[in-house]
Structure 1
């Protein structure tokens, strides 16, 4: 039985590597942990299920295998494979042995998966635990001779360097590995009862499960105190110049895995031997093939039972995740400038305005949204009252820098209750004292913005967000995007939807000594870590509210990076819809009915399954298949329910090619990744001309009015070349920018169909002379452009030319060095 308990521990620990809850997923380590856990779990006793039940259970698990993402998919996949493998017509013993190991591991992983999905949703809402638990950990540290005291939900510890406030969080005390072990252990005990059967089986399970629960409950505070001691020991060993990265062990999957070993040994010592003796000494509980599983369900009952469970769980999964979109409103969007001096929409972003004041505005995103909606501003001197708000469908309140009056707050609340849509946009770390003012409004709807800043574990400043397998309608059409830095949302006890919830993050409070309140990216003891909510949606009265936590991504210098403009459009579009289910009670009532249906169908299946033990295998598989089928259905519905709107008055659209060009572009507006040799600033500054930009590859690269290919180095396929020729011939504009000395340039492969080429062997350095009376410019180096009509020269060498082709035009430039980030000043706040 020790092998089985160690297997449970390894399978529980595998989630620490695969989920990415406390850092990036480590897939090789995850796979090793799962395989080793399955090998150890091979000793788990299993019933001898009939062939028919095995077959139908494997079929019912297929939706889960096909839909669940990794690592959640591993459980049903191993379970299904383990059921089918012994049925293979192979005259050897190993299929049965491997099948038993896979089945046991799959069932344990499946049980743990359900718990961890709920755990992530629970901890994302709040990381805090009652203060009494912090006191318990502090008292344990006292017993070990450590000077500690409790202060709220933190344990205060002293080292030679500083006083440390260790956050006693859900993740520290009720850690996912231990809870997964508890769930897997209860499932293991259940499998043994299922296998041996007997009238006293479930009584023994209840007693053993209670013992396991007591064991885990006793271990958890000891575990937390051990980690606190390790953290304090690290603090004592730090040099004065070292950064305060003290909680790395708390986030380490390997450390958390090692802390599962005492649980596994304790379970074997206190539970395993007694249960084995009980099973061996009671003849009524001996495992006999075909006995413990009970008689097979009758041919008529088995399909009925499976259908009931499948229907009930599918309905619960569907209605539990469904977010009804409703009908579209006229699309009148008002942006409030009153009480906001940050990120204005009325400060131009053009070729005359540079620096922070011009770059940190919402001019570009406001113009972009004007293609799709009737946009207007509520000016700084206009009142916020029912009369003014009565002519809008969606109200955007962003980056509040002055407190709203009580009557203004009431007007906004009434606007939502009367059926309006409200978008609240806040920023990290209480910058410019925005958060308390934003929370005056947010608290009216049951949630608040935290005064914190989120970092990514492992790479503090790069947080890529990808929509999940069941994306909210707001994210269903949004491509992956990289956030700048955001705060998080505390939904409290309010009812709503965590539209964007991400893992592998840690949170710090503001550093008010810094100009922007930005704390150092250090893993300090007071940090909260794990999953956080960054986009929250709620239905209130007859209207809707969405709360977003990273105002920077809509600033001019990064709003057209992938996914960001689309996110703004999706938020406005969701708020521009209404449904009869927007009344919170209506949607809750519908979900309550779905849950009642699920309970009723499950109860019916239980009644039919009485006395037919082997049917429980089919019921469990049908439950997982139903959850997957319901989730699959709602994901497909969300994908189609709210397509992004089509532009009513399109702005010129410039596409930056990523098919044959792989130059470094900006991330979150910052261009430091390219060392000055990237072209992020060129992309950022195209909107100064009144254009919108996007990045695209393949067929999507030809969706704009103009295509810019910068220093191409990838091979040019015949298909791309033909599509490019058709694009220009039908009226598209093509700009090819080549860089002198670019290794492996493929610019000539792009230009060849148009009778143009670039000659790197013929180059010049000197003064660039432009046609049309433009000022002369010094250039470091430029290539000769052959073909077309020249319009720029260095000495007498043509270095830029244009050519009409069909209804379109091609332009080739050989002095791309002058357009890289270094030549543009290196930062968006500098004037070139």
Structure 2
């Protein structure tokens, strides 16, 4: 049975590569581990004789295949392998292979619930304080130099003093639970006295987890003795690296093999010989499947509520940071203009009625409000104001709380008296991606995402704090994995700690956004205020989260009791199923086979059904006033925006050009393809196209322009692709990259206004706007139907290197004149008068 335990171990570690639990997913390594596990199981389960196969097992293929089709990776692998295994077992010669695939598939199905359960436990209460004194005693017994105080262990080395609190992640709870789940499947395959063996397995795993944790602590201290004093190195990765986790659990396979002595012939052979179900077993199976469906529904159902009037109020009285009252325009520059919520507020005002509150919060003020936004407060709320807010929510109001990292400006101190009344609080910490510090990209779960984020693309955080809920079942909105947490540092002005790996830092899963119901109202807590500053608010994910939260909050609870009722009924179904099930005998293995597959299929149907219901019920609100969208297409173009991390090359980044669109009162969006660009944009921007447009895409762009759309094509001399030339020919504009001109300066002929734009190539046709000193046209536009196309051949003039390198720059006269060229191009296209806008550029 040693090979079987190795198969369980490899299957368990595969989840660490399939999901972002500690490090980024590496799917191919997960597949390799599953393949190795299947190979080990094939040898480990090879029967000594060919048993007869009950053909009723074929009934399981359809629900297995449907479950595999409904569930996303890696959850679909288990049912898919089980379906393949059943087909292989139809032929006696391939039955050993089928047995191995069936076992590993069953293990993966059993394990599929564990990552979700673990994330709930670890995010709610990461520490295991009750275990720390016991660990301290073991370390002292081993004569390890360690001290203990306030649930914290202290280790001193020549490098520094290390401190650590015992956490679920550090002790390896997740792989331990995965091994237990897989071990239960192994026990059912091999033993008849199942429940006693399961208890033995749990106890053995528990003891091993403690011993392993002590060993890792000793190993860490020992290794750090050999790290030089000046070296920037800390070996904390041994606690979260999948390789080190796998190696540290490898001895468990040897240990557990010594304690479990199976029969010669696996019970799995008996399972396949007789899959008949008695009447009581059938009823129990139906109850079990119903329970699985209802349990999934209790997490998947989101009360559609009753829509309110959409009267939003942003509280400015208590916040001197990220204000919404000062206009972001073409006159105000510097870092303070970027750390401003004006554009976010105006965007919200295009969808709802919006007011700014500058007075003390009172019940009378809240009577004319449906949703109150409290953002990064820098002043405290009085008890009367807090009571008014709580009463407002209880009567059906919505409350949007926005905090930030490390209690900056005292924001969490001022937020928590409010948040704690609704069952959570903002921690005084900051979160970072374990592998990519300052570049955490969150991708919504593929199984039953919260309605707030169900249409949200990947979301790049700046730096957030974490949220500590008071219950294990808060409204999970953003529960992210692969994070590490550093606590507040009071020795610096913004409380920001030095970003280095520390032995005592928590890692794993943390809440970064949470949604709760209170009375008839709703509350959303969000932890990264920076992302809604003007310089970040309209990159992918941010507008979708803002509108998703606004729509969810703009509803009054109608069926708040449904989730709890579904949960109670599901638990009753499970208990009743266990009660009526007859005592275990050989026939019960048929019940186990059908029940496992049936429960998984029922849960899959619930996921499919309630996902569809949530998408149809919760939709992003549409604008109620005119909103001008400037869309930057990504799929065909060669330029960078900070969508998944920082831009690295100023000459390749167009971050400032993107942000400056907001100064004109328009809204920039980055989209992946032409189809979405046309759908969302009034103006489509193509920068340095390198991939050829298909005939269908060119036709779509031509229809878009003919019907009144605007198109900006910006290219550069160094771009060797003909994509822009082929596209522009459809609009009678002809690019000649063989004729390169020095566009420093480039003139507007009627006014003699000039700009230094660097090298450019000739653009013939249309109505030229700018010429090089040798009269080579380098920017031109053409009317096409009801729309306009503008082409320019000096796109490098608008990259970050040409625009001042950073959005926080204070421009001099020359740079400001350069900005006005961008303003004239964008405004002229939108308003349909490019030449007039260019002549009056410095007045914009």
Q: Give the TM-score normalised by the residue count of structure 1.
A: 0.92
Aligned to 1:525: 503
Aligned to 1:383: 360
**Residues 1:352 and 1:189: Cα distance change in structure 2 (over 3 Å):** same
Does residue 80 in structure 1 map to residue 83 in structure 2? Answer: yes
- Distance in 2, matches of 1:153 and 1:72, equals 37
Aligned to 1:362: 341
Aligned to 2:801: 822
Q: Is the 8 A contact 1:62 1:625 kept in 2?
A: no
**Residues 1:620 and 1:818: Cα distance change in structure 2 (over 3 Å):** same
What secondary structure does 1:247 align onto? helix
Q: How does 1:81-160 map to 2 (within 5 A)?
A: 81-87=84-90, 90=91, 93=93, 95-130=94-129, 132-160=130-158
C-alpha displacement of 1:712: 1.1
Q: Is the 8 A contact 2:61 2:83 kept in 1?
A: yes
Q: How does 1:423-462 map to 2 (within 5 A)?
A: 423-462=400-439
- Distance in 1, matches of 2:733 and 2:416, equals 59
Partner residue of 2:209 out of 212, 220, 223:
220
Unaligned runs of 5+ in 1: 194-200
C-alpha displacement of 1:771: 5.0
- Distance in 2, matches of 1:650 and 1:121, equals 42
Aligned to 1:641: 617
**Residues 1:38 and 1:546: Cα distance change in structure 2 (over 3 Å):** same
- Distance in 1, matches of 2:392 and 2:583, equals 50
Does residue 316 in structure 1 map to residue 314 in structure 2? Answer: no
Aligned to 1:660: 636
C-alpha displacement of 1:606: 6.3
Aligned to 1:198: none
Partner residue of 2:762 out of 756, 779, 784:
784
C-alpha displacement of 1:750: 1.8
C-alpha displacement of 1:397: 0.4
- Distance in 2, matches of 1:23 and 1:244, equals 18
Does residue 206 in structure 1 map to residue 195 in structure 2? Answer: yes
Does residue 254 in structure 1 map to residue 243 in structure 2? Answer: yes
What secondary structure does 1:453 align onto? strand
What secondary structure does 2:616 align onto? helix
Does residue 9 in structure 1 map to residue 12 in structure 2? Answer: no
Does residue 702 in structure 1 map to residue 678 in structure 2? Answer: yes
Does residue 346 in structure 1 map to residue 325 in structure 2? Answer: yes
C-alpha displacement of 1:603: 5.1
- Distance in 2, matches of 1:481 and 1:18, equals 20
Q: How does 1:565-576 map to 2 (within 5 A)?
A: 565-576=543-554
What secondary structure does 2:154 align onto? strand
What secondary structure does 2:653 align onto? coil
Q: Is the 8 A contact 1:319 1:591 kept in 2?
A: yes
Does residue 331 in structure 1 map to residue 339 in structure 2? Answer: no
- Distance in 1, matches of 2:530 and 2:103, equals 48
Residue correspondences, number: 803
Q: Describe the superposition over 1:758-802 as per-residue Cα deviations: whole angstroms up to 9, x where unpaired.
A: 222221242122256474222322222211111212212221111
C-alpha displacement of 1:803: 1.5
C-alpha displacement of 1:214: 2.5
Partner residue of 1:678 out of 633, 639, 653:
653
- Distance in 2, matches of 1:571 and 1:49, equals 57
- Distance in 2, matches of 1:160 and 1:562, equals 46
Q: Is the 8 A contact 1:294 1:612 kept in 2?
A: no
Aligned to 2:257: 268
**Residues 1:323 and 1:79: Cα distance change in structure 2 (over 3 Å):** same
**Residues 1:712 and 1:405: Cα distance change in structure 2 (over 3 Å):** same
Does residue 60 in structure 1 map to residue 49 in structure 2? Answer: no
C-alpha displacement of 1:27: 2.2
Aligned to 2:39: 39
C-alpha displacement of 1:671: 5.7
Q: Relative to structure 2, which stretch is displaced further, 566-575 or 114-123?
A: 114-123
Aligned to 1:197: none
Aligned to 1:196: none
Q: Give the TM-score normalised by the residue count of structure 2.
A: 0.91
C-alpha displacement of 1:532: 1.1
Q: Relative to structure 2, which stretch is displaced further, 782-791 or 605-614?
A: 605-614
C-alpha displacement of 1:656: 1.0
Once superposed, what is the RMSD of the aligned Cα atoms?
2.5
Q: Describe the superposition over 1:398-442 as per-residue Cα deviations: whole angstroms up to 9, x where unpaired.
A: 011111111111111111111100000011121122111111111
Does residue 18 in structure 1 map to residue 18 in structure 2? Answer: yes
**Residues 1:289 and 1:773: Cα distance change in structure 2 (over 3 Å):** closer
What secondary structure does 2:771 align onto? strand
Q: Is the 8 A contact 2:689 2:724 kept in 1?
A: yes
Q: How does 1:385-784 map to 2 (within 5 A)?
A: 385-468=362-445, 469-493=447-471, 495-582=473-560, 587-597=563-573, 599-600=575-576, 612-667=588-643, 672-696=647-671, 697-703=673-679, 704-762=681-739, 763-770=741-748, 773=751, 775-784=753-762
What secondary structure does 1:754 align onto? coil
Aligned to 2:223: 234
Aligned to 1:243: 232
Q: Relative to structure 2, which stretch is displaced further, 487-496 or 454-463?
A: 487-496
Q: Is the 8 A contact 2:54 2:272 kept in 1?
A: no
- Distance in 2, matches of 1:645 and 1:119, equals 34
- Distance in 2, matches of 1:494 and 1:302, equals 33
Q: Is the 8 A contact 1:49 1:293 kept in 2?
A: yes
What secondary structure does 2:742 align onto? strand
Q: Describe the superposition over 1:31-82 as per-residue Cα deviations: whole angstroms up to 9, x where unpaired.
A: 2221222222232488968534311223232333122222222222222221
C-alpha displacement of 1:686: 0.5
Q: Is the 8 A contact 1:495 1:538 kept in 2?
A: no
C-alpha displacement of 1:804: 1.1
Q: Is the 8 A contact 2:297 2:566 kept in 1?
A: no
**Residues 1:606 and 1:824: Cα distance change in structure 2 (over 3 Å):** farther
Q: Is the 8 A contact 2:189 2:267 kept in 1?
A: no
Does residue 801 in structure 1 map to residue 780 in structure 2? Answer: yes
Q: Is the 8 A contact 2:308 2:555 kept in 1?
A: yes
What secondary structure does 1:372 align onto? coil
What secondary structure does 2:325 align onto? coil
- Distance in 2, matches of 1:555 and 1:71, equals 36
C-alpha displacement of 1:614: 1.9
Unaligned runs of 5+ in 2: 816-844
Q: Is the 8 A contact 1:364 1:556 kept in 2?
A: yes
